[in-house]
Structure 1
């Protein structure tokens, strides 16, 4: 056994047999931001055989406060996060096969990657992608670990197909956070706490110690010294379209996705959310203004200056991203602000 993993092997929950199992597993990480970069480093150091990372964004200066794999050099080079993460992770552990995919985590891509994946890690910044992950998980029987954080608050839940409620079930029960780091800010310790919860559960699953996997939904607020662990067995819903008795995997359906369109003759992308709901423009204006954005508005819309781009948000959640024709970039901006 490689001396590199000797301290991990000494841990009774893993041992030599568990380390061999870890070495034989393939983990898919969706997102290479704060949670993704941290989880990827932990699992790379732990000796996971293969890690695939999917991310559509590039490294920005504001990332350096909490996204541990990246440097100022990556910011200057505007390196895609997936590429920068791949380079750093290979330098950390050359025994691990690292694959970076620079792009959107679409249903088509995730279904294409599903074969041979042992575990999925949620490190994305929006619920649309999480719901796609959830349906892929249920369809292909791949466990995944939900995780999210904003401000000083974080949460995590392990989802095992056929055993636990899925994310679609949970949305009927738990009011999950709607703020994003761009609207509510974030402190690094909250990120690290979620990473600890997610990767601890990941190691349990990778060594196949299913009895030790936590079955409760954990949430915490480090600033307010609050910690909650909720039993979720009763949240499982027989009529759930993702994991129920007559499942249809609705979030793999093209009709249920956010619609993006380049407006004819204009350097503008229109984004229309799949599930329309009224946005509190006054509340959003206050949040964005406190973070230094230049915000103007009226009772019908909000205009937000964002460097080279300008985002106009309407009450029904529709938005126009001016200054780009890149659909993926526009969608990323939209989800950073509206979650």
Structure 2
């Protein structure tokens, strides 16, 4: 793209003096990772791609369902009918928005086994997750590698956001201890779509500041707000805690956690996830299961509708979801019955 084409596409952004032509060049050379392509992640990806960030890698483990459409802005009813993985559906939509950006969708669960690979070569990580287990993993990986991490959350009518820069600010663990995170989830108490947009937009603008080198403009507080009850609060994030196991003593506990996540409930989702197989050959499993259950398959996943009422969803990477129950015992029974332990 020559200078004229660049200006035509990004003119309103480049006319904003703190970005300008130099900042736009920095954005085009930048690479970001977005973890989670649900409500926050879709807004974040939309902003990054439209802003002209050169390489946007995004990862999500789930597929599009009808309940997502109220707030997850990149998806539509065709994605639901096709049971498309969110990362794949997002790539297809984003590619039509800006063909100049390199898009790298990854259909996977983020774990200690793959987090360093996912972060390879990125300049900044954006939090689009819905759980603190993954957030602490991202926090520790970012601080170990020296990569800025922009946190965000949204539930009910409340939102929050903060940016963490290794060597400059404290980390997420300094502000929120494991177990302190709210037990409320969108699946339990709901969420208003405007809250998602506001939270992710706070994240996106902090990301732009960091990517163009405008660190002095970075917000130095954790912002929380409630759009229904009309409050806005900012808490200064202060200085790093020398006893923090992440940014103080550099132990990075989440990177060394024993991820006994071979079987685990997804909070508020009526879903139990299994990681017991190395790989699933979807065509082979369609043949195995089709005599006993109703099966739907696309290139990305296989969905088996069980006569008991639940669903089993298989992914090529070896993951399986048992949907319709949060009880690990019942989920294991169904998994063993149809897949085997």
TM over 0.5: yes
1-structure distance, mates of 2:225, 2:309: 31
Aligned to 1:242: 246
Match of 1:259 among 253, 258, 261: 261
Aligned to 1:321: 331
Contact map agreement 1:56 1:102 (CA 8 A) in 2? yes
Aligned residue pair count: 281
**What secondary structure, in the 3-state scheme, does the structure 1 residue paired with 2:105 have?**
strand
Give the C-alpha shift of residue 306 in structure 1.
8.4
Match of 1:311 among 325, 334, 339: 325
**What secondary structure, in the 3-state scheme, does the structure 2 residue paired with 1:115 have?**
coil
Q: Indicate how the Cα distance of structure 1 residues 50 and 323 shifts in structure 2: closer, same or farther if over 3 A, else same.
A: farther
Q: How does 1:199-214 map to 2 (within 5 A)?
A: 199-214=204-219
Give the C-alpha shift of residue 178 in structure 1.
2.4
Give the C-alpha shift of residue 175 in structure 1.
5.0
Aligned to 1:284: none
Match of 1:67 among 69, 72, 92: 72
Give the C-alpha shift of residue 254 in structure 1.
3.9
2-structure distance, mates of 1:83, 1:227: 36
2-structure distance, mates of 1:46, 1:180: 30
Q: Indicate how the Cα distance of structure 1 residues 175 and 249 shifts in structure 2: closer, same or farther if over 3 A, else same.
A: closer
2-structure distance, mates of 1:55, 1:270: 14
- Structure-2-length-normalised TM-score: 0.77
- Structure-1-length-normalised TM-score: 0.78
State whether structure 2 residue 153 is matched by structure 1 residue 139: no
Q: Indicate how the Cα distance of structure 1 residues 164 and 319 shifts in structure 2: closer, same or farther if over 3 A, else same.
A: farther
| CA RMSD between the two structures | 2.4
Give the C-alpha shift of residue 270 in structure 1.
8.4
Give the C-alpha shift of residue 167 in structure 1.
1.1
**What secondary structure, in the 3-state scheme, does the structure 2 residue paired with 1:107 have?**
coil
Aligned to 1:83: 88
Deviations 1:261-289 (A, max 9, x none): 49xxxxx9688xxxxxxxxxxxxxxxxxx
Deviations 1:270-312 (A, max 9, x none): 88xxxxxxxxxxxxxxxxxxxxxxxxxxxxxxxxx98544435
Deviations 1:106-163 (A, max 9, x none): 1222201323110000001111111110111011000010000000000001010011
Query: Unaligned 5+ residue runs, structure 2?
Result: 265-270, 275-307, 312-322, 337-341
